[in-house]
Amino acid sequence: MIKESKILVEIDKSSGFCFGVVNAISQAEEELNTNGKLYCLGQIVHNSEEEQRLQALGLETITHKDLDNLKGKKVLLRAHGEPPSTYKKAIENNITLIDASCPVVLKLQAKVKQGWEEMKKVGGQVIIFGKKGHAEVIGLIGQTDGNAIVIESINELDSLNLSKPTELFAQTTKSADDYKAVAHELERRLNAKSIPFKAHNSICGQVANRKKELIEFSKNHNVILFVSGKNSSNGNMLYQVCKSINPKTYFVSAPTDLEKEWFINTKTVGICGATSTPFWMMEKVALKVKQMD
């Protein structure tokens, strides 16, 4: 007889891949099912388990340096978006691009490009609130010919030259509250000097709504398991949201990360994840919890 689990386990139905990631994986799978081989420029998603699944189907992750050696091949551009230099190099090497850039990111790239053109006319600057070195941020910097200034926290404002017109943008997966704080502080400092300033609403709506949803979800369970790849910017941000509400929140990347002592005297476990977390991985974690009970 199978022992029935005493712990109630709930998977957050709103967690999992966002539209951009779903689209990128769908296009990759379609090409792999047809030709059995496809190159992807950078990790298709910041989740090693999902990447391994796609590698087994024939997906090979490459770097920008590899593009020169792939003449005539097909290369997938993931949801994060790419700078203009990538498209130029693809043309030079006769590479066929399968462009799975997220529409939200492409729209932001166009806004950043327009903002930079406006700032050039008045000797101004473009500031991007984002993670330095992140693929999306690199793509955004490319829209400004490499001139955008990237900051990761409000503490970096003191090191900036705030004596010229400024336009502010954010990486789409940053915390909306953190971005709002940065924008308000910049506005305060620049307005005091009567210097033109404009902050753009560039946080992805799906990401922004997740915080409110996860706050409620975290309140309703004794233990929260946040499932995500360790290098997911969105994952680390949302994990902190859950942890701030429920101290018994644990970051896990796979079922093997679970510790039995987490569930002592526990009645309910909530499982949630990032926009880069596959739903099948959350289901595996849920099954492992029930087996450990």
List, as one string, the DSSP characters of 70-92: -TT-EEEE-TT---HHHHHHHHH
Separation of first and last alpha carbons in the chain: 15
pLDDT of residue 111: 98
Locate tokens 């955004």: which residue?
A: 140
pLDDT of residue 249: 98
- The Cα–Cα gap between 224 and 245 comes to 10
pLDDT of residue 3: 47
- The Cα–Cα gap between 36 and 103 comes to 27
Q: Which residues are catalytic, by number?
A: 136
Structure token pair of residue 99: 């462009």
pLDDT of residue 292: 84
Domains 8-16+207-292 and 104-199 agree in fold = yes
Q: Are 16 and 273 in contact (CB under 8 A)?
A: yes
What does the domain layout of the chain look like in residue ranges?
8-16+207-292, 19-101, 104-199
**Residues across the chain:** 293
pLDDT of residue 207: 81
Rg value, the chain, Cα: 21
Q: Pick out the chain residues at pLDDT < 50.
A: 1-3
pLDDT of residue 1: 36
Structure token pair of residue 160: 């900036």
pTM exceeds cut of 0.85? yes
- The Cα–Cα gap between 271 and 218 comes to 9
pLDDT of residue 4: 53
Angle subtended at Cα 230 by Cα 22 and Cα 26, rounded to the nearest 5 degrees: 15
- Quickly name the fold that domain 19-101 has: Rossmann fold (3.40.50)
- Quickly name the fold that domain 104-199 has: Cobalt-precorrin-4 Transmethylase; domain 1 (3.40.1010)
Closest CA to 279 of 4, 3, 5, 14: 14
Q: Are 101 and 79 in contact (CB under 8 A)?
A: yes
Angle subtended at Cα 208 by Cα 206 and Cα 214, rounded to the nearest 5 degrees: 90
> Does domain 8-16+207-292 fall into CATH 3.40.50.20?
no
